[in-house]
């Protein structure tokens, strides 16, 4: 699998260290929520599931985990620009402290839509933890309270991120060789 990468951007150890830092920051920032039931972590399936699973175990507070599925890239490498909820949350988030875990912020279209949708449910607070953010000039302005890494505007795979459902189980994050998706 790793032979299909043009470049490794972040190793397994670098990812683990960064995720642990984000977990510590969240633990510190949300300490006061411990008595109110802690945090609801929401992962956007399927890419962010691995990040959220690792992040949750680095947060030393009560954490509920819930999942949303939205349509985004299909099997291709280009954004369709169309966001649709395919699977909604199981929990009610009204009055809860919510953190949305995302794998990668590219155009920002998906998160812009999701944040609007989630805030209409009146959470006590709503923040974003994204593992990666692409350096894309046209990106929608989104406040990410927690950011793992900035990455180049290439097609990225590994640690949850797929191409046609492959490479999610790659332990590192890297740039997919263009000849594989072109
Ligand atoms: P956005 O709406 O910000 O353009 O991106 C939405 C989703 O598309 C991301 O959460 C991610 O699931 C997927 N995506 C965007 N860029 C990449 C990429 O470089 N690689 C992969 N595997 N998925 C991406
Ligand atoms: Mg995603
Ligand atoms: Mg995908």
Centre of ligand 1 to C-alpha 167, Å, is 14
Give the predicted TM-score (pTM) of the model.
Answer: 0.93
Summarised one tens digit per residue, pLDDT across range 105-139 is: 998 988 998 999 999 999 999 999 999 999 887 77
**Block residue for tokens 């290439």:** 154
Domains of the chain in sequence order = 17-151 (3.40.50.2020)
Summarised one tens digit per residue, pLDDT across range 145-163 is: 999 999 999 999 999 999 9
Ligand closest to Cα of 161 equals 1
Centre of ligand 3 to C-alpha 83, Å, is 13
Report which of 15, 9, 50 is spatially closest to residue 168, judged by C-alpha positions: 50
Catalytic residue among 54, 103, 106, 162: 106
Ligand closest to Cα of 72 equals 1
> Is 106 marked active-site?
yes
Our CA angle for 116, 121, 127, nearest 5°, is: 60
- ipTM for the predicted complex: 0.95
DSSP symbol at 7: E
The strand order across the sheet containing 39-45 reads: 84-87, 63-71, 39-45, 97-105, 125-134, 146-151
């Amino acid at each position: 699998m790793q032979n299909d990468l043009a470049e490794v951007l972040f190793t397994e150890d670098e990812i683990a260290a960064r995720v642990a830092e984000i977990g510590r920051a969240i633990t510190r920032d949300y300490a006061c929520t411990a008595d109110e039931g802690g945090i609801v972590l929401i992962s956007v399936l399927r890419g962010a599931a691995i990040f959220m699973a690792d992040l949750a175990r680095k947060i030393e507070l009560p954490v509920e985990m819930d999942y949303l599925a939205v349509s985004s890239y299909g099997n291709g490498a280009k954004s369709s620009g169309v966001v649709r909820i395919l699977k909604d949350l199981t929990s009610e988030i009204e009055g809860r402290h919510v953190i949305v875990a995302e794998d990668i912020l590219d155009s920002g279209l998906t998160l812009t839509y999701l944040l609007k949708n989630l805030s209409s449910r009146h959470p006590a607070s709503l923040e974003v933890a994204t593992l990666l953010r692409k350096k894309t000039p046209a990106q929608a302005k989104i406040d990410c309270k927690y950011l793992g890494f900035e990455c180049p505007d290439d097609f990225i795979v590994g640690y949850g991120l797929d191409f046609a459902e492959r490479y999610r189980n790659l332990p590192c994050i890297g740039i997919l060789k263009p000849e594989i998706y072109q």
